[in-house]
Amino acid sequence: MAFSLIGDDTCQFIAPTPLPDPYWIAVSPEAAELVGISLDSNQLPQDPDWLAILAGNPAELGQRLFSKPMATAYSGHQFGHWAGQLGDGRAILLGELNHQELQLKGAGMTRYSRMGDGRAVLRSSIREFLCSEAMHALGIPTTRALSLVGSKQAVRRETMETAAVCSRLAPSFIRIGHFEHYAANGLHVRLQELAAYLIEAHYPECKSSNTPYLALFKAISARNAKCVAHWQAVGFCHGVLNSDNISALGLTMDYGPFGFLDHTALDHICNHTDSGGRYAYHRQPKIMHWNMACLANAMVPLVEMESPGQDAAEILRAALSDFPPEYEAKWLTLFRGKLGLQIDTPDDMDLIEALLQLMHANQADFTNAFRSLSKVQKKDAHSNWRDQFLDRDAADAWLSQYRTRLQQESNSDAERAAQMNCVNPKFILRNHLAQRAIENAQQDDFTEVNRLQRILSRPFEDQPGFEQYALAPLPDEVVTDLSCSS
């Protein structure tokens, strides 16, 4: 965390605990390029020291730029309840490369590990590596994954598994939980320094405001509103939208029991630990709004400083009301694009929501239903698109409304199809694909991990020969047992 408020009340300087006998599993070429790491013909770093560095070897770290690795303290609300102090219990921040913070997840115990062992297991590390880079390729704000390093070190979860370290990149890993931690502990100077750093480094537009802290709150809220709109547009379910898992930069972070919708279920719950469905797909926007309320509560002391004599809580409540229209505007823009609509009409919201309800009622595949919609033509009444729905009459009725709406657009069918195929992916990280890669990797075969990474780096291209990776899972391939255990 590249800001000056470092000390015993905010972080612990601690070296990673290295993985014994580490080996490469995968490296993201795009992420490596982002931080200036050259790769060889095998898509591995040319400098052999990077394996030891990204496995957490402190001797190698000391010879590089990473002289003061640290774990940070934060607090937060988990499943709607105040959890108190949390922190980087298994993630250690090494430092910066090319304006990107480099963090090792699964790097060993810290003072914030509580009852944990500080490690991450292979299966969850594969999922985080693949999804971080897949989300980036989809154009969704996210932390990045540079590499995945494995080891035969045994780790106990529900069963005995092996350890891995996923190296993560972000302009900053500051969370809403950092604000909550400083506010809850009365660390108002730290809170002020944290906000000042964010404004200087990541929200410079706030500096010109007469109330920069309020402007910062509005900017963080707006970014997260847009981020969750992106999730809804691709059918992504985060699974654990606790306030400590929310980025202050509006990035998707902390990939745990996530999942993309296969058969459309608007109330889908991807995390079986979430028995009440708090973080179900259709509730994600409201939960993100709730998390922004947690941020607002933590920022009350800051707004009091810059607006003395005024009701800071009321000022922030008013600012919080900007979240729903920010989200709705972005959601509508994204879904208009998915339907190939370039002009705005008052009935577009109804048309989109009718489609989502149709897909939900018929359990149509979320990704494929949108992708194949580009083949519908303005004047041709026949379309195979209807064959994805059990209720063909309902599908035909919606198609009739859609074609009527398309008459208002000036572009050709071919132009519209090209535009739609740039925003409706053909390939997503489906759980059954990730599970297949994990099972192979547990047998020391990492071919599928690397193949998936390559396919998902080009989600909007047809990629002949890999059509099976675009298919919905068969009934016996559906993966439902995802939890917070990693």
Q: What is the pLDDT of residues 1-27, one digit of tens each?
A: 555 556 677 899 999 999 999 999 999
CA angle 331/264/121 to nearest 5° reads: 90
Q: What's the distance, CA 205 to chain centroid?
A: 25
* 161 and 184 belong to one structural domain: no
Q: Does any domain span residue 224? A: yes
Residues in the chain: 486
Q: Does any domain span residue 421? A: no
Section 75-87 average pLDDT: 96
* 20 and 104 belong to one structural domain: yes
pLDDT value at position 361? 98
- Rounded to an integer, what distance in angstroms lies between the CA atom of residue 103 and that of residue 201? 18
* CB of 253 closer than 8 Å to CB of 359: no
Q: Does any domain span residue 463? A: no
Q: Does any domain span residue 341? A: no
351-372 pLDDT per residue, tens: 999 999 999 999 999 999 999 9
In this predicted structure, the answer to whether residue 380 has a pLDDT above a threshold of 90 is no
In the chain, pLDDT over 70 holds for what percent of residues? Answer: 95
* CB of 172 closer than 8 Å to CB of 184: no
* 140 and 249 belong to one structural domain: no
Single-letter code of the amino acid located at 149: V
* 118 and 196 belong to one structural domain: no
Q: What's the distance, CA 253 to chain centroid?
A: 5
Over the range 393-421, which residues count as b (16 or more CB within 10 Å of their CB) and which as e? ebbeebbeebbebbeebeeebeebbebbb
Q: Which of 170, 185, 211 is the last residue of a domain?
A: 170
* 74 and 101 belong to one structural domain: yes
pLDDT value at position 381? 73
Number of domains present in the structure of the chain: 2
- What the block records as the tokens of 371 is 């992708």
Per the DSSP assignment, residues forming a β-bridge with 150 are: 23, 164
Tokens 């707004």 -> residue = 303
Q: Does any domain span residue 205? A: yes
Q: Which of 135, 170, 205 is the last residue of a domain?
A: 170
Active site residue 254: no
Q: Does any domain span residue 188? A: yes
Domain span including residue 280: 176-330
Section 193-220 average pLDDT: 97
- What the block records as the tokens of 25 is 């599993």
Identify the active-site residue in 47, 49, 88, 244: 244
pLDDT value at position 477? 87
* 107 and 74 belong to one structural domain: yes
Q: Which of 143, 170, 197 is the last residue of a domain?
A: 170
Tokens 């229209």 -> residue = 325
- Rounded to an integer, what distance in angstroms lies between the CA atom of residue 151 and that of residue 164? 6
pLDDT value at position 327? 98
Q: Does any domain span residue 77? A: yes
256-309 pLDDT per residue, tens: 999 999 999 999 999 989 989 999 999 999 999 999 999 999 999 999 999 999
Section 116-120 average pLDDT: 93
* 182 and 255 belong to one structural domain: yes
Phi, psi of 320 (to 5 degrees): -65, -25
pLDDT value at position 3? 52
- Rounded to an integer, what distance in angstroms lies between the CA atom of residue 465 and that of residue 362? 29
* 193 and 319 belong to one structural domain: yes
| H or E stretch covering 167 | strand 160-170
Q: Does any domain span residue 51? A: yes
In the chain, pLDDT over 90 holds for what percent of residues? Answer: 88
